C-alpha cells in the first residue's frame, strides 16, 4: 500500500487493468445464479413498464374517439396489471441484489481483514491508520455495488435501451428517427460533463481519505494534543482539510447538477422536434394524437438509460481504482508466516538458543550482528543497555515477529522458523511497555489470551500481580466495563491488567519489556513477590532500564554495538567494573541524589 500521509492525495486515476476485474470475478461467480435471476426480473419489469405508452396510444386513437367504454376499461385494467407486474419484478430484483451486494461486501471485507491480521508490525507503523480504514469500509462498499448492481445495470440499461427503440419503432418509424437525431448532441454533452464529473468525485474521495487519516490520528493522540496545548494548531490543520473536502464536494456537485438540466434541455428540444415534424413536416398535421403522445413518452424514457450508462462508466472507472487499492492491501506480503512444511511446536520446556543471529529492520542498517547465546529452562535473563541497542529486537525475534537475516533461533532444539506461529506464540507470554486494553469488561481483558479461563483462574492471576485489590473496588468488580484503550484507568492499572492477562496464559517463556515502568515503587515490591512465584520454572526475558529490578536475575546481558558486550550475574558484572558497572552505579548515585 502506498505510504502517503494525510497531506498527500492518493492517485486514484488508474489505467484499466483487466487482471483486477478477473480477480474480482471470483466474488461474483458465487452469486451468478442469483444475479441471472435478478437480471431476468429486471428485464421483465422494464418490458412491462414500456407497454404503458402503447396502451395510452390505443386509448387516445381508438377507444376514446369511438366512445368504446368496454375497450377503455380493458385498457385501464391492462395498464394497471402491467404496472403491478413492473413493480413486483423490480422489487424482487432489488431484494435479490441487496442480498448479493451485502454478501460480496462481507466476503471482500472478511478476506481483507484476515490478511490485515497477518501483516507485520511495521506495516501499521508506516501507514496512516485512517487510510487503511478507508479501504476496509468505504472502498469495499463502493466496489461491492459495482460488482453486483453495476454489472447487471450495464446489461439492463442496454436491454432497456433496445426495448425502448423497438417499442418506439413499432409505434412510428419516422418519428423514431427524429428522436435518434438527438443522440449525437447528448453524447457530446455527456462525454464533456462525465469526464469532469469523474475527476471531481475522485478528488472528493482523496480529500475525504486525507481528512479521515488526520481525524483518526488526532483521536488516538487527543491526550498529547492537550498536553502540548496544540488544540489551535490542530484545529487549523483540520480546518484546511475540511475546507479542501468542502471545495472538492461543491465542485463535484456543481458538475452533477448540470447533468439533469443539460439532458432535460436536449429532451425538450427533441420533444419539440417530434411535434414539429409530426404536425407539419411528415403528415401536415394528420399524425394521430396517440402516436405523438406515445413517441413523446418513449423519447422521455430514451435518455435515461444513456445517462445511467454514463454514470455506470464513471463509477466503473472510480471503482477500478478502489479495487486496485483493496487488492494492493491484500497483496501486501506477509513477511512472517508459517513455512510450507511447518510443524506444531511441542510443549515448551524453555531452552532458548541464538545461533549466530544477524538482523536488520532496513537493508544496510544492521541492529544485531552474529549474536549467539544459550538460556537454560527456567533461567531469568535481564537485557540491559542503551536505547536502540537491540534489547526489544532480541525478544521480538524470539517471538518471531520478524525473520532473522541469518543464523537460527532454537527453542528446545527446534528452529522456530520451522514451527507454526500459533503453536509458538500461544506458549509465550509477552508483556509490552504499551499496555493495550480493549473495550469490554476487566474480566474479558484478562481472559483475552485464554478464553476458557474460569473466574477462579482470573482472580488467581490478578492476585498474583497485585491487580485484585483495585479491581474489587471497581463499580462491578471484574464485570466493570472499560472503554477503548483503557480510558479512565491509570497507566499503572493498565499494566497490572496486562500482567494478569499475560500470566493467565500460563506461558513457558515470559517476556517483560519495561513492564513495570508505570507502576509505583510500593506496588512494584508487592508485584515482585508475586512474580517471583509466577516466574519459578519459567524461562524469562526481562528488559528494564531501572536496574534495581533485575539484580536477582540469573544472567544479565549488556546489549550494545549490535551484540552482547557483557554477560553474567549482577555480582559478576559489578566485579568486572565494565559497562554494566558504570550504568548501575550512575543510576544508584542519581537515585541517592534525589
Q: What is the rounded end-to-end Cα distance, in angstroms, of the chain? A: 49
Q: What is the pLDDT of residue 516?
A: 61
Q: What is the pLDDT of residue 440?
A: 82
Q: What is the pLDDT of residue 1?
A: 46
Read off the C-alpha cell for 23.
Answer: 480477480
Q: What is the pLDDT of residue 525?
A: 64
Neighbouring C-alpha atoms within 13 Å toward the C-beta of 159: 15
How many angstroms separate the CA atoms of 278 and 169, rounded? 14
Q: Which residues of the chain have pLDDT under 50?
A: 1-2, 594
3-state helix, strand, coil in the chain (%, to 5): 65, 10, 25
Q: What is the pLDDT of residue 591?
A: 59
176 φψ region: left (φ > 0), alpha (ψ -120 to 50), beta (else): alpha
DSSP 409-444: EEETTEEGGGB-HHHHHTTEEEE-SS----SEEHHH
Neighbouring C-alpha atoms within 13 Å toward the C-beta of 289: 8
Where are the alpha helices (H) located in 150-288, listed in sequence order?
151-171, 173-180, 183-220, 222-227, 231-276
Side-by-side strand order, sheet with 380-384: 428-431, 509-513, 539-543, 380-384, 555-560, 563-568
Scanning the structure block, which residue is given the C-alpha cell 475522485?
202
* Domain residue limits, the chain: 18-330
Q: Are 54 and 294 in contact (CB under 8 A)?
A: yes
Global confidence as pTM: 0.62
Q: What is the pLDDT of residue 227?
A: 67
Which numeric CATH code is attached to 18-330? 1.20.1560.10
Q: What is the pLDDT of residue 328?
A: 79
Q: Which of 325, 92, 357 is nearest to 206 (CA)?
A: 325
Q: What is the pLDDT of residue 574?
A: 92
Q: What is the pLDDT of residue 406?
A: 93
Q: Are 500 and 465 in contact (CB under 8 A)?
A: yes
How many angstroms separate the CA atoms of 443 and 519, rounded? 21
Scanning the structure block, which residue is given the C-alpha cell 419503432?
169
Q: What is the pLDDT of residue 566?
A: 92
User: What is the tens place of the pLDDT at every residue in 201-217?
Assistant: 778 777 877 887 788 77
Residue 111's alpha-carbon distances to 108, 339, 518, in angstroms, are 5, 21, 38
How many angstroms separate the CA atoms of 197 and 205, rounded? 13
Q: Are 197 and 251 in contact (CB under 8 A)?
A: no
How many angstroms separate the CA atoms of 593 and 590, rounded? 5
Amino acid at each position: 500500500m502506498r505510504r502517503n500521509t494525510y497531506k498527500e492525495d492518493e492517485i486514484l486515476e488508474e489505467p484499466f487493468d483487466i487482471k483486477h476485474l478477473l480477480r474480482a470475478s471470483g466474488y461474483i461467480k458465487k452469486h451468478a445464479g442469483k444475479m441471472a435471476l435478478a437480471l431476468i426480473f429486471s428485464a421483465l419489469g422494464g418490458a412491462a413498464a414500456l407497454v404503458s405508452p402503447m396502451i395510452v396510444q390505443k386509448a387516445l386513437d381508438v377507444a376514446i374517439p369511438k366512445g368504446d367504454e368496454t375497450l377503455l376499461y380493458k385498457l385501464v385494467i391492462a395498464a394497471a396489471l402491467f404496472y403491478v407486474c413492473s413493480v413486483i419484478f423490480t422489487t424482487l430484483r432489488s431484494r435479490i441484489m441487496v442480498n448479493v451486494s451485502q454478501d460480496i461486501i462481507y466476503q471482500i471485507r472478511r478476506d481483507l481483514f484476515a490478511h490485515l491480521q497477518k501483516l507485520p508490525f511495521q506495516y501499521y507503523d508506516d501507514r496512516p491508520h485512517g487510510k487503511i480504514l478507508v479501504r476496509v469500509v468505504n472502498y469495499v462498499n463502493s466496489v461491492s455495488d459495482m460488482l453486483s448492481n453495476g454489472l447487471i445495470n450495464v446489461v439492463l440499461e442496454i436491454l432497456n435501451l433496445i426495448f425502448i427503440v423497438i417499442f418506439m419503432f413499432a409505434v412510428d418509424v419516422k418519428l423514431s428517427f427524429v428522436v435518434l437525431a438527438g443522440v449525437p448532441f447528448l453524447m457530446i454533452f455527456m462525454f464533456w460533463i462525465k469526464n469532469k464529473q469523474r475527476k471531481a468525485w475522485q478528488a472528493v474521495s482523496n480529500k475525504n481519505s486525507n481528512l479521515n487519516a488526520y481525524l483518526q490520528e488526532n483521536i488516538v493522540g487527543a491526550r498529547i494534543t492537550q498536553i502540548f496545548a496544540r488544540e489551535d494548531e490542530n484545529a487549523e490543520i483540520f480546518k484546511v482539510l475540511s475546507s479542501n473536502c468542502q471545495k472538492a464536494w461543491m465542485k463535484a456537485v456543481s458538475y452533477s447538477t448540470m447533468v439533469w438540466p443539460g439532458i432535460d434541455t436536449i429532451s425538450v428540444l427533441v420533444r419539440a422536434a417530434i411535434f414539429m415534424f409530426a404536425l407539419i413536416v411528415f403528415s401536415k398535421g394528420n399524425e394521430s394524437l396517440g402516436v405523438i403522445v406515445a413517441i413523446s413518452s418513449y423519447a422521455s424514457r430514451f435518455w435515461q438509460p444513456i445517462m445511467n450508462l454514463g454514470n455506470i462508466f464513471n463509477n466503473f472507472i472510480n471503482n477500478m481504482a478502489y479495487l486496485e487499492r483493496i487488492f494492493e492491501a491484500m497483496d501486501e506480503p506477509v513477511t512472517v508466516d508459517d513455512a510450507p512444511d511447518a510443524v506444531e511446536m511441542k510443549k515448551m520446556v524453555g531452552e532458548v538458543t541464538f545461533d549466530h543471529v544477524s538482523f536488520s529492520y532496513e537493508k544496510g542498517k544492521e541492529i544485531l550482528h552474529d549474536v549467539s547465546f544459550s538460556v537454560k529452562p527456567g533461567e531469568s535473563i535481564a537485557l540491559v543497555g542503551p536505547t536502540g541497542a537491540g534489547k526489544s529486537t532480541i525478544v521480538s525475534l524470539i517471538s518471531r515477529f520478524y525473520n532473522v537475516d541469518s543464523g537460527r533461533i532454537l527453542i528446545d532444539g527446534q528452529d522456530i522458523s520451522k514451527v507454526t506461529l500459533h503453536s509458538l506464540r500461544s506458549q509465550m507470554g509477552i508483556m509490552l511497555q504499551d499496555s493495550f486494553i480493549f473495550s469490554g469488561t476487566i474480566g474479558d481483558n484478562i481472559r483475552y489470551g485464554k478464553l476458557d479461563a474460569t473466574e477462579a483462574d482470573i482472580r488467581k492471576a490478578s492476585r498474583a500481580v497485585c491487580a485484585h485489590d483495585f479491581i474489587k473496588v471497581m463499580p462491578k468488580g471484574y464485570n466493570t466495563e472499560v472503554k477503548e484503550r483503557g480510558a479512565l484507568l491509570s497507566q499503572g492499572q493498565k499494566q497490572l491488567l496486562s500482567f494478569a492477562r499475560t500470566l493467565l496464559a500460563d506461558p513457558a517463556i515470559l517476556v517483560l519489556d519495561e513492564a513495570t515502568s508505570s507502576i509505583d515503587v510500593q506496588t512494584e515490591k508487592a508485584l515482585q513477590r508475586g512474580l517471583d512465584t509466577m516466574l519459578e520454572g519459567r524461562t524469562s526475558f526481562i528488559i528494564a532500564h531501572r536496574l534495581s529490578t533485575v539484580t536477582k536475575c540469573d544472567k544479565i546481558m549488556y546489549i550494545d554495538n549490535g551484540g552482547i558486550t557483557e554477560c553474567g550475574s549482577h555480582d559478576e558484572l559489578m566485579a568486572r567494573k565494565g559497562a554494566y558497572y558504570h550504568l548501575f552505579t550512575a543510576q544508584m548515585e542519581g537515585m541517592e541524589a534525589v
